[in-house]
Structure 1
Amino acid sequence: MSYQPPTPAPRRRRIWPWIVAAVAMLVVIGAVAASPHSTSSSRSTATSSGSGGGGSSAAVPGGISDGTHEVGPDLAPGKYKTAGPDSDSIVSSCYWARLNSTDGDFDSIITNGNTRGPATLTVKSTDAAVEFSGGCVWTKTS
């Protein structure tokens, strides 16, 4: 009888790397879907009620809603308030951003924020535009 080395046990496929990859992919997809910034290069320009100008209107009775609004032609500098998102809204927060340009670059954001309730925003005459999303209605107070 000749010596025969023991046969190695069949190699088990490791499943955990696939699970980790799938979870990471879901996290990335969720983060992109929840991002308040549009990746589209086309941005709508809204007009407030009572002002001239073109663009698709996000003006609502008594205020301004979602869109990128140019300071001057579409939106007057001053203080704006919102009551926050509707309680039955799918979106649980309002996003706002003061912009130094409407080119869509991340560096165009002067400052931004999210609010889940009442908030006040001061738009300066030096801002190029303001961006709103989340379905909140912003009204000028001064």
Structure 2
Amino acid sequence: MVPLSFKEITKRLKTIDFPPVDIVVGIGTGGVPAATMVAYHLDAELQVLTMNYRDEQNNPRYEAPVVLAQPNWQLQGKRILLVDDVSVSGKTMNAALELLKGLDVKTCAMKGKADFVLFPEVKDCVKWPWKP
């Protein structure tokens, strides 16, 4: 397991050349701390889309990601950055992108596959600083 600190994540955030962003949408629950850091870094509004696909042992809980809570968004004309902590299979990120179809959306993951990946070199599981 690869340990990452808030300091390392913040340092890496500063190296990414993000486009202008109006709203950061964090995929909850795992992506909320990551999205919070990104929104703060970009001085952007934060919204949370709560979805669930995996259980606490990282095993699929459902056949596909399930939306548990979605804010009443006003996103037309906004530049959106969709953020999750991990996007390896891409199932949750793609399900969230479907909900945002037709909007100006870029994706960001701390690890895995996205338009912007903070730690592309990390292939193992991560010990995130916000998880016990």
- Structure in which a larger fraction of residues adopt strand: 2
TM-score, reference length from structure 2? 0.29
Greater RCO between the two (CA within 8 Å, min separation 6)? 2
TM-score, reference length from structure 1? 0.28
Greater radius of gyration (CA) = 1
